[in-house]
């Protein structure tokens, strides 16, 4: 649903939220929401079945050189964008950890607590304000004379 691209790299899955794929310039919150939903689904599975899935999810925001040609999407990470997300995933134990840089970008819509032993934040809750959008938009529209 997020229109992201999924790649496999060994035992890791890398999900890229690039504007050229999603059609949205700022994909930070979408990436966090998707990561949280994946975590909830895997934890739900682990509660129901004997065969457990050990996982960790790390989310980072950074620069990629991306190219979309026909039905193919290719990317090259700049700096440690993917490496940092992988490091967060390694330190996360059935949770979602986000980088400091991403935390600063989503701080108003995501409740987090500082992770221990690593420079990262553990997601506690993603605040969904979409159900209030019509109400707030209606009030705002009336306030400015629309």
Size (the chain), residues: 146
DSSP state at residue 132: G
Please tell me the pTM assigned to this model.
0.82
For the stretch 61-120, pLDDT in tens is 999 998 888 888 888 889 999 999 999 999 998 999 999 999 999 988 999 999 988 899
Which pLDDT does position 70 carry in this prediction? 82
| 35-41 average pLDDT score | 96
Average pLDDT, the chain: 87
Residue tagged 């701080």 (tokens): 107
């Amino acid at each position: 649903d997020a229109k992201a691209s999924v790649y496999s790299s060994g035992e890791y899955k890398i999900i890229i939220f690039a504007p050229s794929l999603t059609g949205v310039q700022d994909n930070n919150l979408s990436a966090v929401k998707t990561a949280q939903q994946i975590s909830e689904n895997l934890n739900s599975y682990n509660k129901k079945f004997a065969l457990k899935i050990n996982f960790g999810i790390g989310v980072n925001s950074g620069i990629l050189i991306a190219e979309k040609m026909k039905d193919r999407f290719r990317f090259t990470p700049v700096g440690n964008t993917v490496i940092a997300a992988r490091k967060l995933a390694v330190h996360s134990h059935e949770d979602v950890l986000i980088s400091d840089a991403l935390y600063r970008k989503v701080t108003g819509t995501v409740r987090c607590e500082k992770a221990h032993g690593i420079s990262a934040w553990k997601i506690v809750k993603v605040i969904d304000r979409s159900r209030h959008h019509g109400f707030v938009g209606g009030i705002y529209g009336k306030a400015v004379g629309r």
